[in-house]
DNA sequence: AGTGAAAGAAGACCGCT
DNA sequence: AGCGGTCTTCTTTCACT
């Protein structure tokens, strides 16, 4: 699964992460190459799944999403059927931005972005009515100190 | 700070979040408008800071980032000077993808993406040598169930 | 605030090296 | 795998409604 990329590929990815809107010529100039090789490599990395998606990052607060919670979940259920239902519930809820299954005594962590505390409560009530969880701790973010999707290539 | 956007603006943002690479014509068609108004609105939302950045999402595992930790931090220090140093340390470290200051007895949560467990340890040792923290708990992700940056507009 | 046209830039492809 | 050229498509602007 680990793609073999050379230094030029990595430089291209750094540029795309920084600004996916810039032209091929500009990227080529910055990485010390020219248009065609950059284009061929980008195409290959898209097809190979290294580049997954091109998107925009929005200002959550400006759009009214003023609350962000990290949710720690412990469960006693570990059967396949329960897990499938739980995963599907998370995937279906758009306010869940991240969901990870963990090692250790906490089983799952979620990042949930909602308009306000009331919206979080609605989410929480809906979730626990759908699937049985043993223990839930919600951590409320007071301040987003840093947020990036860029990998440190 | 809350930008006032109409239904068309929101539809455009949904499309841009889904795929920022598509053409204006295609976006216009999907949202039921035409090229110029879409372009004017996108421009305005960029200038107004609603649209922050255009970027690509990469496959972390394909690029060798196989470990992801959520780090819960408690500290006894709450002086301004300590906090400034701590924040700067987090911002300077590229493996820290997210950092939030929390309400409650846990003070901070980090999301740290690294190549392997050893790289996490190196990060951890470097961090605690720079700033004094009272208690650190690392939660290791076994599986990324869901990951999105899209806001549910 | 939306329409239609028009110029300029950038993307996508190809044959050659 | 990179170079240069070409065709095509999109972006960006503007005068009009």
- Do both A72 and A109 map to the same domain? yes
A55 inside domain: no
Is the minimum distance from the CB of B137 to strand C below 7 Å?
no
Residues of B in contact with A59 (CB under 8 A): 49-52
CA→C1' distance for B35 and D14 (Å) = 14
Q: How many CB pairs under 8 A join A and B?
A: 221
Q: Structural domain of residue B81, as residue ranges? A: 61-140
A22 inside domain: yes
- Do both A20 and A70 map to the same domain? no
A153 inside domain: no
Residue B106 near residue A71, CB atoms below 8 Å: no
Looking across all nucleic acid strands, the nucleotide with the smallest C1' to CA distance from residue A26 is C10
User: CB–CB of A149 and B55 under 8 A?
Assistant: yes
| CATH number of the structural domain spanning residue B129 | 3.30.70.920
- Do both B34 and B78 map to the same domain? no
Instruction: Give B68→chain A minimum CA distance, Å.
Output: 9
3-state helix, strand, coil in chain B (%, to 5): 40, 30, 35
pLDDT at res. A4: 84
What is the tally of structural domains in chain A?
A: 2
A35 inside domain: yes
3-state helix, strand, coil in chain A (%, to 5): 40, 30, 35
| CATH number of the structural domain spanning residue B18 | 1.10.10.10
Cα separation values, B12 from A64, A93, B45, B54, Å: 17, 21, 10, 14
- Do both B14 and B73 map to the same domain? no
- Do both B70 and B109 map to the same domain? yes
Closest protein residue to C13 (Cα–C1'):
A36
Q: Which of B58, B91, B109 sits opposite A52 (nearest CB)?
A: B58
Looking across all nucleic acid strands, the nucleotide with the smallest C1' to CA distance from residue A24 is C10
- Do both B42 and B81 map to the same domain? no
User: CB–CB of B90 and A146 under 8 A?
Assistant: yes
pLDDT at res. B2: 76
Measured in whole angstroms, the distance separating CA B38 from the mean position of its chain's CA atoms is: 26
- Do both A74 and A116 map to the same domain? yes
What does pTM read for this prediction? 0.95
Q: Which nucleotides of C are covered by protein (CB under 7 A)?
A: 1-5, 9-15
Whole-angstrom distance, CA of residue A35 vs CA of residue A47: 18
User: CB–CB of A151 and B58 under 8 A?
Assistant: yes
Closest protein residue to C11 (Cα–C1'):
A24
User: CB–CB of B146 and A63 under 8 A?
Assistant: no
- Residue B15 binned pLDDT confidence (cut-offs 50, 70, 90): very high
A70 inside domain: yes
The angle subtended at Cα A113 by Cα A145 and Cα B18, nearest 5°, is 100
- Do both B67 and B36 map to the same domain? no
pLDDT at res. A1: 62
Is the minimum distance from the CB of A24 to strand C below 7 Å?
yes
A132 inside domain: yes
- Do both B135 and B81 map to the same domain? yes
pLDDT at res. A151: 98
pLDDT in tens, B51-60: 999 999 999 9
- Do both A11 and A36 map to the same domain? yes
B1 inside domain: no
- Do both A73 and A130 map to the same domain? yes
CA→C1' distance for B26 and D9 (Å) = 12
For chain A (153 residues), the mean pLDDT of every run of 10, in chain order, is 88 98 96 96 96 98 97 92 95 98 97 98 96 96 98 97
- Residue B1 binned pLDDT confidence (cut-offs 50, 70, 90): low
Given a cut of 80, is residue B104 above it in pLDDT?
A: yes
A103 inside domain: yes
Looking across all nucleic acid strands, the nucleotide with the smallest C1' to CA distance from residue B37 is C2
Q: What is the 3-state secondary structure (H, E, C) of A88-145?
A: HHHHHCCCEEEEEEECCCCCEEEEEEECCHHHHHHHHHHHHHHCCCCEEEEEEEEEEE
User: CB–CB of A50 and B59 under 8 A?
Assistant: yes
User: CB–CB of A139 and B106 under 8 A?
Assistant: yes
């Amino acid at each position: 699964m680990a793609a073999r990329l050379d230094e030029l590929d990595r430089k291209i990815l750094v540029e795309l992460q920084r600004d996916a809107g810039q032209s091929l010529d500009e990227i080529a100039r910055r990485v010390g190459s020219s248009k065609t090789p950059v284009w061929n490599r980008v195409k290959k990395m898209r097809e190979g799944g290294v580049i997954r998606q091109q998107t925009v990052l929005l200002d959550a607060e400006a759009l009214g999403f003023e609350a962000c919670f990290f949710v720690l979940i412990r469960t006693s259920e570990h059967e396949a059927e329960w897990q499938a239902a739980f995963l599907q519930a998370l995937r279906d809820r758009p306010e869940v931005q991240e969901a990870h299954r963990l090692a250790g005594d906490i089983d799952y962590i979620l990042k949930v972005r909602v308009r306000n505390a009331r919206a979080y409560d609605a989410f929480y009530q809906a979730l626990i009515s759908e699937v049985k969880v043993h223990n839930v701790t919600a951590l409320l973010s007071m301040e987003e100190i840093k947020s990036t999707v860029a990998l440190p290539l």
